[in-house]
Amino acid sequence: MNIDIEIDEYIKKKRYRQVNSVLVSKNSEIIAERYYNGFNKDSRNPIKSVAKSIMSIGVGIALDKGLISSIDEPICKYISEFNERRDPFHKMITIRHLLTMTSGILWNGGVHYHCPMLMQMKHSNNWISHITDCVVTNRPGTKYNYKEWDVILLAKVLDSIGSDMFDLINENLYKLLGIHSERWYKSTCGVYYSVADGDEDENESLSNLTAREMLKIGQLLLQKGFYNNKQIISSDYMEQAVTPTQSNPSYGYLFWRGENWYGCRGYGGQRIIVIPKKELVIVTQATPTSRGMSYDDVIWFCEGLV
């Protein structure tokens, strides 16, 4: 049976009404490209936490450019609030800890990752200062806890080393891959934070990408930073970024990974999944709802078709 029809039937059978795009690429060629709900190849969809992984690539760029010397640099070098010893552990927190979600700063993700603590931060006048006030409940580097604080702090770091975080990513990644994105949302207190929690669609939609753009990022991952005959990011970093860490074997540097795959995951079904042995890249996009659906089964269904 035709692979397109099989995917369509699967989506229909499962009644996945929020799934908007499914793309499968093998050996750098698109072998299936399905759109639903009026989507097409130019339609843009929220990327949610896929932005975290893109920021991780940003760290790779910063390393290549010598903007940071190592991911073991303490963040207090870049964020002055962490120099004030509001918490005795602050000076120990490094960029690596942010990348691996092990800063140890207090975080409660809430039910379905609704992030109750985020609301308080958004209400505050200075987000970074608010996070600096949060108590550190685990020694940095010891305990994995998926949280927004760490990427918000990472955004601040990436924004402090050169001119601007978005410019860094746009000039050195997006443009080289042919990705067109609006300038990401920046809070009034000057913090890039793209992964808003859905109630600020306007701000969030700035970072939206098409399915094909997502696929390009997947292809870059599969090729360890090599794209269009050019090493865009050093392969060392790209490899490290998807290698399991001690604190969580399913997580690298803001990248997820499993037994035979690695990739990016965003709330509500945004996926860029790379299966290196099969030279496969699979992308899904969906309209995020409060139920926080993942549609991971769609990925594994597609893999089974190839």
Q: Burial of 246 by CB count in 10 Å (0-12 exposed, 13-18 middle, 19+ buried)?
A: exposed
Determine if 111 is a binding residue for other proteins (CB under 8 A): no
Single out the residue of 30, 122, 177, 234 in contact with other proteins (rule: CB under 8 A): 122
> Alpha-carbon distance 160 to 52, whole Å?
17
Q: Which stretch binds other proteins (CB under 8 A): 5-13, 19-27, 102-110, 169-177?
A: 102-110
Sign of CA dihedral 67, 235, 269, 100: negative
Phi-psi region of 48 (alpha: psi -120 to 50; beta: other; left: phi over 0): left
Q: Which stretch binds other proteins (CB under 8 A): 116-124, 162-170, 232-240, 287-295?
A: 116-124
User: Shortest gap between Cβ of 110 and other proteins (angstroms)?
Assistant: 7
The closest of 202, 211, 224, 212 to 274, measured between CA atoms, is 224
Single out the residue of 74, 162, 198, 276 in contact with other proteins (rule: CB under 8 A): 74
The closest of 284, 288, 290 to 25, measured between CA atoms, is 284
User: Shortest gap between Cβ of 192 and other proteins (angstroms)?
Assistant: 19
Determine if 80 is a binding residue for other proteins (CB under 8 A): no
Looking at residue 108, what DSSP letter applies? -
Determine if 119 is a binding residue for other proteins (CB under 8 A): yes
Judged by CB, which is closer to other proteins: 123, or 291? 123
Determine if 72 is a binding residue for other proteins (CB under 8 A): yes
Judged by CB, which is closer to other proteins: 26, or 77? 77
Restricting to residues 260-299, name those near other proteins by CB under 8 A: none
User: Shortest gap between Cβ of 178 and other proteins (angstroms)?
Assistant: 37
Q: Which stretch binds other proteins (CB under 8 A): 13-21, 115-123, 174-182, 267-275?
A: 115-123
Determine if 137 is a binding residue for other proteins (CB under 8 A): yes
Single out the residue of 15, 88, 291, 304 in contact with other proteins (rule: CB under 8 A): 88
Single out the residue of 22, 51, 59, 92 in contact with other proteins (rule: CB under 8 A): 92
Determine if 135 is a binding residue for other proteins (CB under 8 A): yes
Determine if 106 is a binding residue for other proteins (CB under 8 A): yes
- Strands (E) in 206-255, as ranges, are 226-227, 230-231
User: Shortest gap between Cβ of 88 and other proteins (angstroms)?
Assistant: 4
User: Shortest gap between Cβ of 186 and other proteins (angstroms)?
Assistant: 16
Determine if 190 is a binding residue for other proteins (CB under 8 A): no
> Alpha-carbon distance 269 to 272, whole Å?
10
253: Cβ contacts below 8 Å, ≥ 6 apart: 56, 59, 71, 96, 99, 100, 240, 241, 242, 245
> Alpha-carbon distance 210 to 21, whole Å?
9
Q: Which stretch binds other proteins (CB under 8 A): 106-114, 222-230, 248-256, 289-297?
A: 106-114
Could you give the 3-state DSSP secondary structure of residue 32? strand
Could you give the 3-state DSSP secondary structure of residue 144? coil
Is residue 76 within 8 Å of residue 241, measured between CB atoms?
A: no
> Alpha-carbon distance 141 to 47, whole Å?
27
Binding footprint of other proteins on the chain (CB under 8 A): 72, 74, 88-89, 91-92, 94, 106, 108, 110, 116-117, 119-120, 122-125, 130, 133-135, 137-139
